[in-house]
Structure 1
């Protein structure tokens, strides 16, 4: 029950237009002005998702991440991870609050601009409310300290990603949503950023990540590995692989193009490889292929897009699939040479030129599959047309159009790969070999380190070829039935 003060004696109401009415009106106006000023100061809430067709709650609106600084401390014996994520971002609107994607673990503290921020958690969404609103165009730094045992995430297609732990070994894999299991961020491929990842583990254990190894320091029985990725990276391509890896770094010499006679050398990136000792012998042959694969793909597709390259070869039970983690694809044990060709091709197709939405996944997988066909022709004299014919005959490739997977569970199904590659071959047949490879190299050069859509690709191909290719798109990219090959 409310406690009320005794009622005062009644006072006759003042007629309209008196000073009392003017006072009330003025107060109301002041309140309205104050509310408007408050709204202008604090802005509006950033969206809790970018509205991706397959993962509508993935990513966040209102800001663009520029850089992630991740400091991680991992205990293999318990699986416990302690982390600090320093996220530098630019506000793309006036913000009163914004979200981060983060699954599991405990948030210990959050600051925005050096001041404590209010945090609300709902599922995989962290809503952060800074003490002062953020202004559009403002660059701000968010620091999230967190701890716990990072979890494994089950994809819509029932495969597993996130933090995959096997005894004293662990690997972080992120496609499409798994990176949120081990660090908070804007986890949609449309928001790429540079990274510094520092991981501390017990002495004798290796911690491998993307980019270049800047330092490796041991103190008091623990070793800190500092990795730097200067080029933009989508968060699903970030990785940390922890275990008793045997590592090797090769500073490769520059090569000169044939016939250049003293002209500028072609840069050759350094290679960093990590192999689990239990598969080192079987993996040696595959590692020997890596420099030749990179050189061939550079010749075929254009300059390698990153400042370092390599591969991580774990054990077969470390994950259920290979993944094109940036600069160092992760392989679950020694795979086929074709798989390595595929994952290295992703450094151009998917990692440098990254899909704007998950519906554009075929631009990653179709090109990587086509790279395998080209490699088979290059090394084994198997014509690309034969690979096309085999894919055409495979009923699995006709379950749906590659640019229109029916659901999130289908974005890695056969049509995205096999039929995606068929689309590219039909373009090649239509425009001719010379024009096709010129267009592919131009596509990679034009959109280097950017994000693209299927519409971007079809428009680019038509512009550069000077041809109307609606017949190819309608039949091979968007058609529901198997076209007749003429």
Structure 2
């Protein structure tokens, strides 16, 4: 896939996504990022080295990477120092000494440093952010460039190897498998490898004073990083997470990554955050009363829907949030709470009293994280479930996650997938047309008899 137009100068500094028009870049795709990060917690000083392996998808006389708030000091391409590179408006513009041929693989090495901070956006501050003691990285949809140079577009997935050196009292976490941990004097170096392709917004670093809990080894190796003062409440509030894992593996197919880690920060967070193989909660989400249990299910479900299957463009965000919201309702149904039918009725009543100005298939950047999108997306899935029946619906979901495992997806892909499981394809297409393609809230689908998942 070529990101951005091939007209004008090669390597356009946009991926052409109208939701984040200043992010992503044209003319190439990235195969891997190798990041070496040295971070001083007290001074919030980050020194980084990024080695980016990419493939040109057209002849490139120049190209751009996203990098915000940090200063590049040295750039090489295939080991040869680049004399012409500039930074402006969140972009690192690079002019190689010789044109990079269409189809050629090239390696860009970048040294950079600075005091990272969140980038302002319509959705608040995004990216690298300081905690009271440590760091949280929350990049969705466009904050990755606050801590490493990248092609910041959800459709450009790559392999990652992330090395973090920081002060020894702190635990450092990144995506993937912990390859090594080395202590030298007062500093510790952590090396993580994420072999499964990952979008930039799902790459993360979490640093804090945490106790490590081993929660399970089957069907998924699951751990938690928790502040010492939160251990008792955490064990209660997340006590049924393992049952969620088993349920979702049964309904959605095998877990798509090598492990799953939950982080609870010592600070409050407005909402939990998902990254690939990781979910991050604030201390306010742990109260010893399971008040936030639906969010535990929601973030876990994103490992299938959003992290393994990632939207090719942000207009398809309902493929993340509608599915994760429906997973909440499936867990409620399984665990003795409201059935999915009851959850749908409750959500529908609320939606009916709200403005009808959201198009699920293309909500626009202002509404892409609106709660109405979450609920309407979940109701859409329930309508499909009622149409197909349970056996065909969950078979369809498992086929969906298997067919597009670790890939980028579109709404059109999902419509085509679901249609294959319908005995009345015209009726299913009508369901998609009304729920995805109209502003007005369609009639609520008739509830089926109580079902067992």
The answer to whether TM tops 0.5 is yes
Task: Give the 3-state SS of the residue equivalent to 1:223 in structure 2.
Answer: strand
The whole-number CA distance in structure 1 between the counterparts of 2:367 and 2:144 is 20
Task: Pick the aligned partner of 1:477 from 436, 439, 448.
Answer: 436
Instruction: Render the CA deviation track for 1:205-241: whole Å, top value 9, x for unaligned.
Output: 1111111111111002100011111101111111111
1:204–1:112 Cα change, 3 Å: same
Distance 1:381 1:280, change over 3 A: closer
Q: Which residue of 1 aligns with 2:92?
A: 126
- Spell out the pairing of 1:30-429 with structure 2 (5 A cutoff): 45-117=10-82, 118-157=84-123, 159-249=124-214, 252=217, 268-317=219-268, 319-333=269-283, 334-335=285-286, 336-394=292-350, 395-396=353-354, 398-405=356-363, 407-429=364-386
Query: What is the rounded CA distance, in whole Å, between the counterparts of 1:398 and 1:432 in structure 2?
Result: 29
Q: Does structure 1 conserve the Cα–Cα contact (< 8 Å) formed by 2:238 and 2:293?
A: no
**After alignment, is 283-292 or 473-482 more displaced?**
283-292
* Partners of 1:425 and 1:235 in 2: CA distance: 31
**Deviation digits for residues 346-371 of structure 1 (CA, Å, limit 9, x no counterpart):** 00001001101000000000000000
Distance 1:44 1:106 in 2: 24
CA distance in 2, matches of 1:472, 1:278: 49
Gaps of 5+ in 1: 1-42, 254-267
Mean CA deviation greater in 61-70 or 272-281? 272-281
Q: Per the alignment, in what secondary structure is the counterpart of residue 160 of structure 1?
A: coil
Check conservation: 1:155, 1:409, Cα contact below 8 A: no
1:463 is displaced (CA, Å) by 2.5
Consecutive unaligned residues in structure 2, runs of 5 or more? 1-7, 287-291, 447-453
Q: Is the 8 A contact 2:131 2:267 kept in 1?
A: no
> More displaced, 43-52 or 437-446?
43-52
Contact 1:209-1:239 at 8 Å conserved across structures: yes
C-alpha distance after superposition, 1:276-313 (max 9, x if no partner): 22323322223433322212110111011011112111
**Runs of 4+, deviation exceeding 6 Å:** none
Total equivalences in the alignment? 427
Alpha carbons 1:428, 1:436 under 8 Å: kept: yes
Q: Helix, strand or coil: the match of 1:135?
A: coil
How far has the Cα of 1:474 moved from its partner? 2.3
Indicate if the aligned counterparts of 1:352 and 1:450 stay in contact, CA closer than 8 A. Answer: yes
Residue 309 of structure 1 contacts residue 327 of structure 1 at CA under 8 Å; is this kept in 2? yes
Residues in 2 aligned to 1:65 and 1:269: alpha-carbon distance in whole angstroms: 29
Structure 1: distance between partners of 2:380 and 2:92: 40
Alpha-carbon deviation of 1:396? 4.1
Give the deviation of 1:190 after TM superposition.
Answer: 0.4
Contact (CA 8 Å) 1:160, 1:320: kept in 2 or not? no
CA distance in 2, matches of 1:292, 1:383: 17
Shift of 1:402: 1.6
CA distance, structure 2, for counterparts of residue 397 and residue 433 of structure 1: 32
Q: What is the Cα deviation at residue 154 of structure 1? A: 2.6
User: CA 1:281–1:251 in structure 2 vs 1: closer, same or farther (change >3 Å)?
Assistant: closer
Contact 2:53 2:107 (C-alpha < 8 Å) held by counterparts: yes
Q: Larger Rg: 1 or 2?
A: 1
Cα pair 1:341 1:372 within 8 Å, conserved: yes
Q: Write the deviation string for residues 83-103 of structure 1: whole angstroms up to 9, x where unpaired.
A: 111111111111111110111
CA distance in 2, matches of 1:414, 1:250: 31
The answer as to 2:444 corresponding to 1:444 is no
Greater mean alpha carbon deviation, residues 469-478 or residues 393-402: 393-402
- Greater shift, 185-194 or 458-467, is seen at 458-467
Please give the alpha-carbon distance, in whole angstroms, between the structure 2 residues aligned to 1:287 and 1:382. Answer: 19
C-alpha change, 1:316 and 1:409, in structure 2 (3 Å) is: farther
C-alpha distance in structure 1 between counterparts of 2:297 and 2:36, whole Å: 32
Q: What SS does the aligned partner of 1:154 have?
A: coil
Per-residue deviation, 1:372: 0.4
Give the CA RMSD over aligned residues: 1.7
Instruction: Say which SS state the counterpart of residue 129 (structure 2) adopts.
Output: strand
TM-score (structure 1 length as normaliser): 0.85
The Cα shift of 1:409 comes to: 2.3
